[in-house]
Chains A and B, each alone.
Chain A
Amino acid sequence: MADLAIRLRGVVKRYGAITAVDGLDLDVPEGTCVGLLGPNGAGKSTTMRLLTAQAIADEGELEVLGFRLPEESKQARAQCGVVPQLDNLDTTLTVEQNLLVFAHLYRIERSERREAIERALEMSKLVGRRDARVDKLSGGMRRRLLIARALVHRPRLALLDEPTVGLDPQVRQELWALIDALRSEGTTILMSTHYIEEAQRLADTVLIMSHGSAVAAGPPSDLVLEHAGHEVLEVYGPPARLAEVEAEAGAAGMRTRRTGTSISILGVDGTNGFTIDGERRPANLEDVFVLLTGEEIA
């Protein structure tokens, strides 16, 4: 088995009466991309902060790149790149100055600094904007710079906290290409997201979090198969009808989930005796996500 870039066992983090992370186990094998998927408030961001020792766990074991946290966190951080959820670039500096500062913070040798900055500019396609001040950049460019800044020292492990949150679809796809390129170079990636499509496209394995702990883990396709089967029957109708369908499917031992305007009956593969009319479609990760993390918005 490959070495683990991240290994968490029974990690607990409390804020007063709130338990943000509640007995979390997490394995990220080196060279893979793991998606941390969960609704808002599931504990994804707290988990990310624990990995850089910006939050200290109350219980449990944490190892990052073989270093024990929090004692050896600095060594681990030297080989990690962190893309925060909230933009914290120096807005009055230029693109290149932002990269220069982090080339220093990540201790890149003087002789290699120039080259590292050029590589980061090229990777993020910001070569033409190197002298532009950050506050003059578009939202997408700022995100690309935020990622380039985290990768300037070629980290072994990239921690991406909601890397595409709040961006339009075009920009999101651009960033996916960037993250995918990083993955194909062999960088280990842990990415938190609440966009299902993002996890499905980029992650080798997905860990679904709810209320601070893992409720399922595995490759996206396996999770879909295990929890939602091959096909889903989607039934539309007025709320009263949906409630009826829900009861009927429940009586037949089928799992269902609400989708707002319809109800989805999961795992209808080869169910012939089933009489309810609806549209059949392939099961997807969203079905699993809603099934496992609950339909109520906390």
Chain B
Amino acid sequence: MATAEARGAHLGRLERSALTGVLVREAVNYSSYWKSSTFSSTVEPTIYLLAFGFGFGSLVSTIGGYDYVDFVGTGTVATAVLFSSAFPAMFGTFVKYQFQRTYDAILAAPVDTEELVTAEALWIATRAGVYGCVPMLVAMVFGLDPSWGMLAVPFIGWVAGFGWACFGISIAGYAKSFENFNYVVSAVLTPLFLLAGSFFPLDNFPQWAQVLANLNPLHHCVVLVRHAVFGWDGWKDLARLGALAVFGLLVWRIAIHAMTRKLID
């Protein structure tokens, strides 16, 4: 009997061709639903922007030194990133393994769970990076001035989106049913999203709350986007980017662990 060595090179971990295969599947599927997905990713942040921008904007014209529309327009980039990463990751992952059994089909091909999860997160992160720019573009229509730093925004959205995608995949991996998501949305995502500094600055919060905010990855995303648009804050911003990267790497490994438990008996 021929030995394994004689039958071809050893296939390693995180192979490019395996990642590509999963990404191609997502891209081809995206071609069948991009309209609805783009619609919701654009309309939701626009509504937030209009509601908060004109609602609060009529009461307060400037906040923390920014025009309120500029403040919310940049702040809701993080909201858009969250909505287009954590939510699709949570629901999409659950649907794909539970109802469509897509992952069974993919894992029967030469793709490991680690590659599957990584490729799914990369795909969602890329979408989040693009869709995350929408509120900023809408804000530009309402008077936000263009700046070179804006070019960094898709990248910031991508890094944050990767983490939130892995977060969503992890939740889907540990969840026993769809209903479990309610706890996560109410108890985790909603507070993080409201206390990220998107709609109001956190400066007036007590000291302990401001310290805690530094544990909220979404808060770093909000601040980084604002600084990208209005001016960087040196080392502090680099530290924030590092925090986002650490968050991403950590939940990436958790997501792989969760999905391996789920998919491999």
Q: Are B107 and A84 in contact (CB under 8 A)?
A: no
| A72 vs B3: C-alpha distance when bound (angstroms) | 11
Q: Are A101 and B28 in contact (CB under 8 A)?
A: yes
Residues of B contacting A257 in the complex (Cβ-Cβ under 8 angstroms): none
| A153 vs B29: C-alpha distance when bound (angstroms) | 21
Q: Are B105 and A88 in contact (CB under 8 A)?
A: yes
Interface string of A8-26 (1 = CB under 8 A from B): 0000010100000000000
Residues of A contacting B109 in the complex (Cβ-Cβ under 8 angstroms): 77-78, 102, 105-106
| A101 nearest CB neighbor, chain B only | B25
| A48 nearest CB neighbor, chain B only | B108
Q: Are B28 and A97 in contact (CB under 8 A)?
A: yes
Q: Are B25 and A78 in contact (CB under 8 A)?
A: no
Contacts A75-B4, A92-B32; A84 near B104 (Cβ below 8 A): yes
Q: Does A205 contact B (CB under 8 A)?
A: no
| A82 vs B108: C-alpha distance when bound (angstroms) | 6
- Total inter-chain residue pairs, C-beta < 8 Å: 104
Q: Are B111 and A105 in contact (CB under 8 A)?
A: yes
Interface residues of A in 10-58 (CB under 8 A from B): 13, 15, 46, 49, 52-56
Q: Does A93 contact B (CB under 8 A)?
A: yes
Q: Are B21 and A104 in contact (CB under 8 A)?
A: yes
Residues of A contacting B24 in the complex (Cβ-Cβ under 8 angstroms): 100-101, 104-105
Contacts A65-B7, A93-B28; A75 near B110 (Cβ below 8 A): yes
Residues of A contacting B10 in the complex (Cβ-Cβ under 8 angstroms): 72, 75
Residues of B contacting A63 in the complex (Cβ-Cβ under 8 angstroms): 1
State the Cβ distance, A151 to closest chain B Cβ, in Å.
13
Contact of A93 among B2, B32, B110 (CB under 8 A): B32
| A93 vs B263: C-alpha distance when bound (angstroms) | 24
| B2 nearest CB neighbor, chain A only | A66
Q: Does A222 contact B (CB under 8 A)?
A: no
State the Cβ distance, B203 to closest chain A Cβ, in Å.
47
Q: Are B8 and A75 in contact (CB under 8 A)?
A: yes
Q: Does B187 contact A (CB under 8 A)?
A: no
| A53 vs B104: C-alpha distance when bound (angstroms) | 11
Residues of B contacting A84 in the complex (Cβ-Cβ under 8 angstroms): 101, 104-105, 108
| B24 nearest CB neighbor, chain A only | A104
| A74 vs B7: C-alpha distance when bound (angstroms) | 12
Residues of B contacting A89 in the complex (Cβ-Cβ under 8 angstroms): 105
Interface centre among A4, A15, A101 (most CB of B within 10 A): A101
Q: Are A92 and B29 in contact (CB under 8 A)?
A: yes
Q: Does B210 contact A (CB under 8 A)?
A: no
Interface centre among A74, A86, A97 (most CB of B within 10 A): A74
Q: Does B112 contact A (CB under 8 A)?
A: yes
Q: Does A67 contact B (CB under 8 A)?
A: yes
Q: Does B63 contact A (CB under 8 A)?
A: no
Q: Does A90 contact B (CB under 8 A)?
A: yes
Interface pairs (17), CB distance under 8 Å: A3-B2, A46-B265, A49-B265, A55-B265, A66-B4, A75-B8, A75-B10, A75-B110, A86-B101, A86-B104, A88-B101, A91-B100, A101-B24, A105-B18, A105-B21, A105-B22, A105-B25
Lowest 7 A-B CB distances belong to which pairs? A105-B21, A88-B101, A82-B108, A55-B265, A78-B110, A105-B109, A104-B24
